[in-house]
Structure 1
Amino acid sequence: MVKVILCGCNGKMGKVITEAIHSFPDINIVAGIDKFIDIKNSYATFSNINECTALGDVVLDFSRPDALEDLLAYCTENKLPLVLCTTGYSPEQIDKIADTSKKIPIFRSANMSIGINIINSILRNISKKLYKDFDIEIIEKHHNQKVDSPSGTALLLANTIKESIPEETEFTYGRVGNCKRKNNEIGIHSIRGGSIVGEHEIIFAGTGETIEIKHSALSREVFAIGALKACEFMKGKGPGFYNMEDIINNN
């Protein structure tokens, strides 16, 4: 049995995790962390992880970037694996995550979907081959309540493409004005509206042909399933940095 401490338990994803866990008989939520503690769950809820009295095997975070400091300190003190599903971290926070992974096991992925991570693997293999003859653009769409843009997933895909291409490339965020597109640009465009769960499209536009790779999340459950698989995977792991590719390659 994997005992999970769920941070952000009363947020949108936290609620989906709480429901989705019924499909995982070997995982149990032993405590929740959320600033809104008036919402009752089947497990004890604390307003801060430092107040948590439950013993867990893994800490799963779907909260906000400003909770990171406490999470890293708590997991380091208690030698617990930490699964980070939050996006919007600053470069300094990302460096802190990397440093802390030398002491404890940390799992971080910008998107917990198996499908997105398989697409990311495909991009790593094809981007170098297509770059010279194709312009590359990424379009991401999310609901109107999403705070960060571009999405963490769009940046994940963009960085994979950039790292796969030997030539120097640059990101262009949206387009405005009368500037002609440069050959070395990777365009990233964000759309916010309605209740769109998450859509990511990568376009390779060449002369006389276009290749499009698209992923659509039909419900938040897809992220919950990936996160819970990550909790199973991380139990008992040693210090280090892990991501969804480790789970995919482990299957």
Structure 2
Amino acid sequence: MTRIIMNGCCGRMGRVISDLVKNDKDAEIVAGVDIVYADMGYPVFTDINLCDVEADVIIDFSNPAGLENLLQFAEKKSIPVVLCSTGFSAEQLDYIREKSKTVAILKSANMSLGINAIIKLLKDASNVFVPAGYDVEIVEQHHNQKLDAPSGTAIALADAINEARNGEFTYVYDRSSVRQKRDKKELGISAVRAGNIPGTHEVFFAGPDELIEIKHIAYSRSIFGNGAINAAKYLADKKPGMYDMSDVIAAMV
């Protein structure tokens, strides 16, 4: 049984994960942390430093502002952390890497098993299609309430392709300011914000007389919750270090 502290338990994803864990015989949320208190069916603390419940792992779906406090607590208690929050600054990313020397940390821009399986596919696909002269474009769509554009997931998909190609691409988000043909070293990333469109990510490899499309649609937040729970089970007994969802997928196959 994996004992979980849910940081950000009263938020949307915290509630989703709490509901999912109720039906999981191999996991239990033993405590939660949130600045806004709510009855979640387990002890809830407004400050993680007040939490005195023993646990195997922390799932964090909160806010980057609380990162330092969270990781200091995790380090002190020797509890691994699954970081699901996004929007970390460059300085915070450096801090995460530093703390991973003393506590196990799993960080992912997207907790979906599907997205992370696609990331693996893209690395292989880019080494087939890019040398053959295919153009690469990413189009992501979300509802009209989403604040950031492009999405963190779109950037993660682009990064997977670019890393596989040793950083040869330049990301292009807007072509309206120039009038010229597309450069072969461009990786275009476009964002759509409208209505209640579910999170959709499409990657195109476009070559002569051929189009390969890899697409993912998120119909509910449960896919991210299930991914976070699987990550927590994986990380619970791991030694200090940086991990990501590729490690979780590798352990599942």
TM-score band, normalised by the shorter chain? over 0.9
Shift, 1:175, TM fit: 3.0
| Structure 1 segments unaligned to the other structure (5+ residues) | none
Moved over 4 A (4+): none
Amino acid at match of 2:138: I
3-state SS in 1 of match to 2:188: strand
Name the residue aligned to 1:128. 127
Amino acid at match of 1:206: G
CA 1:194–1:55: 2 relative to 1, 3 Å: farther
1:71-86 counterparts in 2 under 5 A? 71-86=70-85
Name the residue aligned to 2:206. 205
Name the residue aligned to 1:170. 170
1:1-251 counterparts in 2 under 5 A? 1-37=1-37, 39-132=38-131, 133-166=133-166, 168-180=168-180, 181-251=182-252
3-state SS in 2 of match to 1:147: coil
| Structure 2 segments unaligned to the other structure (5+ residues) | none
Q: TM-score, normalization: structure 1?
A: 0.94
CA 1:68–1:194: 2 relative to 1, 3 Å: farther
Find the aligned partners of 1:79 and 1:49 in 2 and give their Cα distance. Answer: 14
Shift, 1:193, TM fit: 3.0
Q: State, as a whole percentage, how many aligned pairs show the same letter.
A: 44
Find the aligned partners of 1:69 and 1:149 in 2 and give their Cα distance. Answer: 26
Amino acid at match of 1:158: A
Shift, 1:167, TM fit: 6.4
Shift, 1:103, TM fit: 0.8
Find the aligned partners of 1:86 and 1:125 in 2 and give their Cα distance. Answer: 28
Task: Select between 120-129 and 147-156 the one with higher mean Cα deviation.
Answer: 147-156
Q: Would the aligned equivalents of 1:128 and 1:166 in 2 still touch at CA under 8 Å?
A: no
Find the aligned partners of 1:163 and 1:154 in 2 and give their Cα distance. Answer: 14
Q: Would the aligned equivalents of 1:138 and 1:187 in 2 still touch at CA under 8 Å?
A: yes
Find the aligned partners of 2:40 and 2:201 in 1 and give their Cα distance. Answer: 33
Find the aligned partners of 1:71 and 1:91 in 2 and give their Cα distance. Answer: 17
Alignment deviations for residues 47-70 of structure 1 (CA, whole Å, 9 cap, x no partner): 221222222111100111112111
Q: How many residues align?
A: 250
RMSD: 1.5
Shift, 1:28, TM fit: 0.9
